[in-house]
Structure 1
């Protein structure tokens, strides 16, 4: 049964939202934004045309809501397949799965994200705290409202930036367009909608959390990385004493280990710790991607 063609832009967007029910929330946000931008640009280019007429005329070129939804679903599958890193060859043994993490690009990109998160966390935390302080202090003045609007706008821009970082480095699908907001509403109602939208506050919460999380991620990555490299390279240097490198004494497990055997053990521990670090980074990347999706993306279908 063919659905009734919408007669206004908001009705078109609601039908598109309904047709995308069950799809990734980030995909829904992108599709709604693109559709509204296209329809409103067409409306501006044809000022004498009614919305119902416009939608009927573009239905053949842009597509009805159900057709657009199908196109976005199909495109998403194709893009995901094209951008997906080649899967690592399956490994049946436990040791193969343990050491195979080195061939997983997501482990390396997640490790890089852990190192980067300290810088991004400082930026996000500073922006939210400074913006909230200025907004609160100027709320009763003439310039208070513009400052508040700019602050919320900055929060949303930073949300998009973080979304791109999370999608590229952690592999979690995030919005590539700003959040959809009905342009039929008056300005005051649209401003009020920004503050009543739970996503605005969850985004600020995420950006505040990024500072302690960034400190934690950076500390874990640097500590484990430095320790594993130090033990591995130190053990290797001891093994190469025949090339003029002094052996020295290596402290290990509260004891003193001398000789090639002890140096080999230290090098083995450092090597194993490095692979443990990659496994930990990959796990943290998955958990953080889920957290970002929960707090930065509007999941309701209302």
Structure 2
């Protein structure tokens, strides 16, 4: 067994990545980080031993790369099964699938993410634009380069924060550990790798895109929700006597407040149509939210997670 073990920590990580080929890139990132952290800590506790000796010593407890890969795959299945919300019952009819969206917990999480995206989008955009422009502007001074390095480090931290939001609300598996760094490399090489990492720039692109996406998500969610609820509420208020029908035709405001009396400019014959339309629009809104959640989760996965093939 020892003859087949890697002779160095980078070699161990390369073989672990190969053993995890085909697995989720987020899982690969977590496994590589955990393995390096464990092996580096063992190497620090045994300063008189080489990397090969440390790897051989911990092989029985931590495992060879193939064994670790199998453990991570099995654990991932168990964890995802435990964290996955109960699946809604499968509907056979088209109407069942249309109205069954109300029983999917992921729908409401996606809708909440659409509303929250405005705040996070503004923060990410301001952070990236301000941090990048300030760091580059001061790069000719003595504090410019350290400030730029700190800014790039903060981007990696924010990518993990956004990843947790995406995984919890949208259900897309995202990294739970940062990217591992080869600490055996000289400091300048590690800094160079930080600047040349394509995933760093794609993360900043994602943060910049979050502003227009956040505005779009928030506007779409609020308009659809308000329109559907108002369309349902207006007929109910008229039928229960809390509002009256006005014949005004200038504008399409569903409820007008005139002289402390509620009016709606929809005629009586249109109230049932308005009520049914609002009810249907509410379910359409839930479908739209769930669809946007899936699309945005895929976008976040593509821009925030380093592919195992290119790592």
Pairwise TM-score range, normalised by the shorter structure? over 0.9
2:41 corresponds in structure 1 to 41
Report the secondary structure of 1:247's partner residue: strand
Measure the CA separation in 2 of the matches of 1:182 and 1:251: 72
Change (3 A) 1:53 1:193: same
- Mapped contact 1:239–1:263 kept (Cα < 8 A): no
**Residue correspondence of structure 1 range 43-62 to structure 2 within 5 A:** 43-62=43-62
- Mapped contact 2:17–2:308 kept (Cα < 8 A): no
- Mapped contact 1:138–1:144 kept (Cα < 8 A): yes
Measure the CA separation in 1 of the matches of 2:29 and 2:73: 13
Report the secondary structure of 1:133's partner residue: helix
**Residue correspondence of structure 1 range 223-238 to structure 2 within 5 A:** 223-238=223-238
- Mapped contact 1:235–1:265 kept (Cα < 8 A): no
Q: For 2:301, which of 267, 287, 293 is the aligned residue?
A: 293
Change (3 A) 1:246 1:144: closer
| Unmatched tracts of structure 1, length 5 or more | none
- Mapped contact 2:245–2:265 kept (Cα < 8 A): no
1:182 corresponds in structure 2 to 182
1:77 corresponds in structure 2 to 77
2:258 corresponds in structure 1 to none
* Alignment TM-score, normalising by the size of structure 2: 0.92
**Residue correspondence of structure 1 range 1-302 to structure 2 within 5 A:** 4-241=4-241, 245-249=242-246, 257-259=266-268, 261-301=269-309, 302=311
Per-residue deviation, 1:257:
4.2
Per-residue deviation, 1:50:
1.5
Per-residue deviation, 1:250:
7.8
Per-residue deviation, 1:95:
1.0
Change (3 A) 1:268 1:250: farther
Per-residue deviation, 1:258:
3.0
* Alignment TM-score, normalising by the size of structure 1: 0.94
Per-residue deviation, 1:85:
1.2
Measure the CA separation in 2 of the matches of 1:176 and 1:164: 7
Measure the CA separation in 1 of the matches of 2:308 and 2:104: 33
- Mapped contact 1:107–1:278 kept (Cα < 8 A): yes
- Mapped contact 2:28–2:308 kept (Cα < 8 A): no
| Unmatched tracts of structure 2, length 5 or more | 253-263
